[in-house]
Amino acid sequence: MLKIPSMPLPYPAEFLKLEGLPWSGQIHCGHNPWLLARLVDDLEIVRDENGHEKATWKIRYDPRDIRAKIIALKGKRLTNTPVRGGVSVLK
């Protein structure tokens, strides 16, 4: 069996970071800001009579909405109310 030596990828795919945290809902493919992969629902590809294809989908999660939720959670203060393991909860 032929073994191919592993080489580092020149443009590795990276998860989008929201407020410094990696988010698995979107992946940037290399260093091209327009090339990305995202989780979607209801993906449909339709071919017309000329053979042209059109793809439609519904975005499952919009990064802007997720970022807004993270910022809102960061804005809430931690209380001193202990729960399991002595961890505080958001109020």
Question: Is 30 a member of any domain?
Answer: yes
Question: Does residue 82 sit within a domain?
Answer: no
Beta partners for residue 55, in sequence order:
45
Residue 46 pLDDT: 96
- Residue 1 counted as domain residue: no
Residue type present at position 66: I
Q: Does any domain span residue 84?
A: no
Which range marks the domain in which residue 72 is found?
Answer: 13-76
Q: What pLDDT was estimated at residue 53?
A: 97
User: What number is the average pLDDT over the span 44-58?
Assistant: 96
What's residue 56's pLDDT?
96
58 assigned to some structural domain: yes
* pLDDT at residue 81 tops 70: no
* The total number of structural domains that make up the chain: 1
State the residue for tokens 């999660």.
61
Portion of the chain with pLDDT greater than 70, in percent: 80
